[in-house]
A and B are shown apart, each in its own frame.
Chain A
Amino acid sequence: MPAMLRNLAQRLGMMAHSFVGGIHPPQHKLSAGLKSELCPLAPLHIMPMKQHIGVACSPLVAVGDRVLRGQKIAKSEGYVSVPVHAPTSGRVVRIGDHAIPHPSGMGIPSIFIETDGDDAVDESLAPLADWRSMEPALLRERVRMCGLAGLGGAVFPTFIKLVQDARFPIETVILNGIECEPWLTSDHCLMLEYADEILAGLAIIMHMVKTDAAIIAIEDNKADAAAVLQQALEARDDLADVRVVVLPTRYPQGGEKQLIYTLTGREVPAGKLPMHIGVLCQNVGTTRALYQAVMQGRPLTERMVTVSGDAMPRPGNLLVRIGTPMRHVFAQRGLDVFEQVRLLHGGPMMGELLRHPDLPVVKSTNGMLAMREPTFMAAHQPEQPCIRCGHCSEACPAGLVPNLLADQCRSDQFERAESYNLFDCIECGACSYVCPSHIPLVHYFRYGKGQIAQQRREKHFAEESRGRSEAREMRIEQEKQARAARRSSVRAAHVGQSDDGSADAAGEEKKD
């Protein structure tokens, strides 16, 4: 149905809301339904100082220190930041740069911890069993202290989302169990195995934002998870106003703005947050981590990771300590030769290509995929000319015109691209996926966004430099005037004493 008609029908209430565009890529959820397994401890853990969106942390430990599991080893250096905790007990052997899963392949300061095998836990954080009687601000501080960031992949510090603003009261909490990326099953696995913990976490979140209404959203390819959660929900009597909603599978249903629109019929305006329309969206993994932080006093040191891909001998869902080298994780599932294999961090749609497996698992690692070279190349064919078929516009969940935006980014017309709402692009990859000419549209958008950000930075720096330069000129001018004033007063005094003083003063002035 044409997008316009569908939109109209939705507005008139003739049709359930659902986001525009979207695609149906093959699911490939090989590891669905598999029981999670514990990944054995690696001999060395690498803890990057920045695993969230925001400001990097600075180390609190020195080389040679012994650390315990859950001990804070780096403190946040800004508001939009969360601390880093030791994943297991051991000794700090080095503090220095190490590559992280990032498209640049660059490294950032990291703490290297040699595992001692005891896995001794730091017990300094007490469980907060009576959270119901606690102030939300106190709970929020606990969430921050435990290093929680959105585990769906965006790793935005969780505590900031939980800040209450009297102007924007939260009406609905949305628990995001969509997991729309192909291959990935980590959230699915969590929902099957830890439904009770997730619901307990949800109850805490609802207490913190003072609302009774919540929606648990799950795609229909995970009907078993929906059933488990429904059952667990019925067993609790404190979550009466919580619904489990099963949505038809469509990518990118799990995008925050898309999911909110589908569930509530309300759009998050450009440049605004879900909070501004009274919605809070949390990933199921984050919610479980929040439960652990509050009820067990356990900082975020572990996460569920899907290890899959068509080059993976034994796909599965692993509970991996953060900081574990990926090579170690892959080896657990039988992959230790990386020739003719492409590694992806995250899902195939939004994940990034890794150059090598010697990178640590970080808080955003929801999946690690190993793809055979031919499969990968089939999805990344050479770019052909745009034939204006319009498939990309139909697939775009943000209602943009990708082919035009890509042309603008390619020819560096960034102002125009911005006026065509480049920054509303969520980089979901739906346009690149459907493009029959294999144009790497999202790559162009990333290029454009990066260039615009750089220009803004340069502009900002230029503005500041101008300010400093003008302040300096003003100061020099003032000093000059002050000097002249002083001199003329001296001269006046001088003239009063002798007659030849004026000649002296004139000579002095010339020198200046």
Chain B
Amino acid sequence: MAGLLYALLSLGAFALLAGIILAIAQKVFHVEGDPMAEKIDALLPQTQCGQCGYPGCKPYAAAVAGHEADVNHCVPGGERTMLAIADLMGVEPKAVEQEAAAPMVAFIREDECIGCTLCIKACPVDAIVGAPKQYHAIIADHCTGCELCVEPCPVDCIDMLVKPELIEHWAWPLPETRRSRIGHERREQHAGHA
């Protein structure tokens, strides 16, 4: 009988001690907010386009960090962003649903613009300038190509144009050799197999 008592008491006491220590540790190491969301947000292209189904890049980052959203919903970011997020989160990469299109910029056909300011209100990065009843213009260097201004325009005078390629931004392609492709396809398979 005494043996049973000792066993129960010692185990109980020890468990209690461990519980107390852990409770204190929880107070000391309490984590405020979700630091992962910020790190994911830093990887996103910040177009604020909402194509992921969330109202902007930050909400999507928070959703991914909270395991509510998959890593593959950022359309403008494409495969590279998906891989970076998957790498950070330590989860299996998933195939991106939609190929990232070539970078676009919005362009307003000025003679058709009626100066309604609706696009100005829609632009998430303040890249459209203009005043009521005046022509609006897009600051091409600030435009993220999110297309959010196209829908509100009542006269359909906004075109999405492919961003012109600059010689300064030209980058060497991967060498066209058999071996370079072998090495490279590994990553693509890696991205596609999930």
Interfacial residues, chain A to chain B (CB-CB below 8 A): 50, 100, 102-104, 106-108, 382-385, 407, 410-412, 439-440, 443-444, 446-447, 449-451, 453-455, 457-458, 461-466, 468-469, 471-472
Contacts and interface: CB of A to CB of B under 8 A. Distances in A.
Interface string B134-147: 00000000101000
B178 A382 contact: yes
B26 interface: no
Nearest to B186: A411
B65 interface: no
A220 to B, nearest CB: 35
A461 B174 CA distance: 24
Contacts of A451: 171
B180 A462 contact: no
B162 interface: no
B122 to A, nearest CB: 11
Given A410-B180, A411-B187, A468 B142 contact: yes
16 contacts: A103-B170, A104-B167, A104-B170, A108-B167, A383-B178, A410-B183, A412-B184, A439-B179, A440-B175, A450-B171, A461-B45, A464-B142, A465-B144, A468-B142, A469-B124, A472-B126
B127 interface: yes
Contact of A458 (B45, B124, B127, B165): B45
Contact of B172 (A50, A106, A447, A464): A447
B167 A453 contact: no
Interface of B: 41, 44-48, 56-57, 80, 124-127, 142, 144, 165, 167, 169-175, 177-180, 183-184, 186-187
A107 B44 CA distance: 32
List 7 tightest A-B contacts by C-beta distance, closest first: A450-B171, A446-B172, A465-B46, A462-B46, A383-B177, A468-B125, A410-B183
A486 to B, nearest CB: 20
B170 A471 contact: no
Given A468-B127, A472-B124, A472-B125, A384 B48 contact: no
A469 B45 contact: no
Given A410-B184, A468-B125, A447 B171 contact: yes
Contacts of A446: 172
A385 B177 CA distance: 11
Nearest to B165: A106
Nearest to A407: B183
A465 B177 contact: no
Contacts of B142: 464-465, 468
Nearest to B146: A465
A447 B174 CA distance: 6
Contact of B46 (A444, A450, A466): A466
A464 to B, nearest CB: 8
Given A411-B184, A465-B144, 18 more contacts: A102-B167, A383-B175, A412-B187, A440-B177, A443-B175, A444-B174, A444-B175, A447-B173, A447-B174, A449-B172, A450-B170, A453-B171, A457-B169, A461-B45, A466-B57, A468-B127, A469-B48, A469-B57
B125 A411 contact: no
Contact of A454 (B44, B171, B180, B187): B171
B125 A465 contact: yes
A463 B46 contact: yes
A383 B179 contact: yes
A461 B45 CA distance: 8
B175 A462 contact: no
A252 to B, nearest CB: 20
Contact of A106 (B41, B48, B167, B187): B167
Nearest to A453: B171
A384 B179 CA distance: 7
Nearest to A56: B168
Contacts of A469: 46, 48, 56-57, 124-125
Contacts of A454: 169, 171
A415 to B, nearest CB: 10
A383 to B, nearest CB: 4
Contacts of A410: 174, 180, 183-184
A440 B178 CA distance: 12
B74 to A, nearest CB: 11
A372 B58 CA distance: 57
A449 B174 CA distance: 11
Contacts of B177: 382-383, 440
Nearest to A457: B169
Contacts of A50: 167
